[in-house]
Amino acid sequence: LGGADMLRRAMGKKKPEEMAEHRGKIAEGAKAKGYDPALAEQLFDLMTKFAEYGFNKSHTAAYAVVTYQTAWLKAHHCSAFMAATLSSDMDNTDTVKIFYDDAIANKLVVLGPDVNASEYRFVPVDRQTIRYGLGAVKGTGEQAVNAILKARSEGGPFKDLFDFCLRVDKRMVNRRTIEALIRAGAFDALDDHRARLIASVGVAIEAAEQAERNAMQVSLFDVFDSAAQAEHGPQYIEVPRWKERDKLREEKIALGFFFSGHPFSEVKTEVMRFVRRPLASLEPRKEPQMLAGLVVGVRTKITSRGKMAFIQLDDGTSSLEVSAFNEIFEEDRAKIREDEVLIVEGKVQKDDFAGEGKIRVVAERLLTLADARGRFARQLRISLNGQASGANARGAAQRLNALLAPFIPGNCPVRLTYRNADAVCEMALGEGRRVRLEDELLVALGEWLSAENVRIEYQ
C-alpha cells in the first residue's frame, strides 16, 4: 500500500522521472505474484498516459455535454454567447482580453464603453455586435454604474460632462470613477477630447455641487441668477489633445489592454524597414532574425547562470515571449521598458515542449528604437525652407544647433537641404555632429519644421 501511494503521488505531480522508477518495481512485483510481466508493463503504460491528464468517464461525459452546448451557442448565437462570456469574469482584465481577442477572431465587432449606451455587463447589440460593459472599466464598480444607469433612465441621455456630473449621485460616482470612464472612452460620443475632459472633471464636479447648493436656496433674484448661469456657465479647461500613444496608454489604465488601437501601429511602418516579419509570421531559422514589438510584460527567474528575463512582446498581430539570459539581461536591462518598443535580434527555434507549431525566441541582442535607427539609418535629412534671412537666419542655425546638441554624439549622419527663392543646396554635417535618433529629437524637429521636413532615410 505504501508503494501504491508513492505511485499515486508521482502520477498527481505528473513527474515522468518518478513514474519511471515505479515501472521496474511493478514488473518485479507482478512476476513474484505469478502474473505476466508484459501485462504489468501494459497496465503501467495506461497509468502513465492517464498521469499526463485524465478524467474518469462520468467526468469526461459531463464535460463533453457542456462542450457541445457551448460550441452550439458560439456557432449560432455568437454575439450573445461572447457577451455572456466576457461578462463572466469582468474583474479580471487578463481574462477579458482573452475573450475579447476570441470575439474579434470570430468576426464580431466590440463597441467601446459609452455612458449613453452601455449597461453594467457586456450586451449583444445584434448578431455581430457587442457593446462593452461599464462594469469592466477599472475603478467603476456595480453601485457606481447602477447610479449612472438610473440617472440615464430618469433624465434621458447625458448631454456633456457637466450634465453628467449634475445628474449622477456623486456619493456613488466619484472623481476617480469619472476619470476612469473618460480614459476608457466612455464619453467619446459626447466629446472625444479626452485630455480636456480629464482636465475639466474638477470644474464639472464643483459646478454640480454649487448647483445643488443653489437649489436649496430661494431668492427674489433666482430668475436673474439662472439666466446669468446659463450664459456664463462652467467652461472646459482647454489643454492640448493627447497624442495617440498617450491616449492608448491612458486607455490601458482603465481597461487593462489597448482597445481602440495599438501603440505599435504608430511606428510599424518605420520598424518594418529593418524588421521584415511581424510576430505572427515568424518561423524557425538557423540564422538570427530581427523581431520587434511593444513590451507588455517582464518576469525574471534565477537560474544557475544568474538572473534571466522573459520579455512579453506584442506587435498587434501576436504576442510572443523572448528569453534573455543573464549576460544579455544585465547588459541591456535599461532598454526593457514596459509599453515601449523593443527590437530583438535572436534565434527563433521550434519549441516542441510547448506543442506543435510553437516557437521560442532566445535574444542575442536588445535594441531600443533609437538604437535600431542608429544601426540601420543611412542619414537624417532635415529640410529648411530658407525664408529666414539676416539675424533670423543666424537664429535658425542656433536653434537647430540647440536641438541637435543633446543628442550628440551618435551614429547617424545629418544632412541639411536648404532652399530659398534662388537656389537649393545640400550640406552634410561633419562626423562630430552625428546624432542619436531618439523620439524626443524627432518630435522637437517636427514641431519646429513640420514632420514632412524631418525624414530618416534607411539603407
The answer for 313, left when phi > 0, alpha when psi is -120 to 50, beta otherwise, is beta
Q: Identify the pLDDT of residue 387.
A: 67
Q: Identify the pLDDT of residue 213.
A: 84
Give Cα 236 to chain centroid, integer Å. Answer: 30
Q: Identify the pLDDT of residue 249.
A: 92
Q: Identify the pLDDT of residue 225.
A: 54
Query: In 230-265, which positions are buried (b, 16+ CB within 10 angstroms) versus exposed (e)?
Result: eeeebebeeeeebeebebbebbbebbbbbbeebbbe
| Its pTM surpasses 0.85 | no
Residues with pLDDT less than 70, the chain: 217-232, 354-356, 386-393
Q: In sequence order, which residues have a C-beta less than 8 Å from that of residue 409 and are 6 or more positions away?
A: 432, 434, 436
Closest CA to 91 of 149, 139, 147, 157: 139
Q: Identify the pLDDT of residue 49.
A: 79
Neighbours of 178 (CB within 10 A): 28
What whole-number distance in Å separates Cα of residue 378 and Cα of residue 457?
Answer: 6
- Residue 341 amino acid letter: V
Q: Identify the pLDDT of residue 46.
A: 84
User: 31-42 pLDDT, tens per residue?
Assistant: 888 988 888 888
Q: CB–CB of 362/347 below 8 Å?
A: yes
Cell numbers 501504491: residue:
4
What whole-number distance in Å separates Cα of residue 53 and Cα of residue 39?
Answer: 22
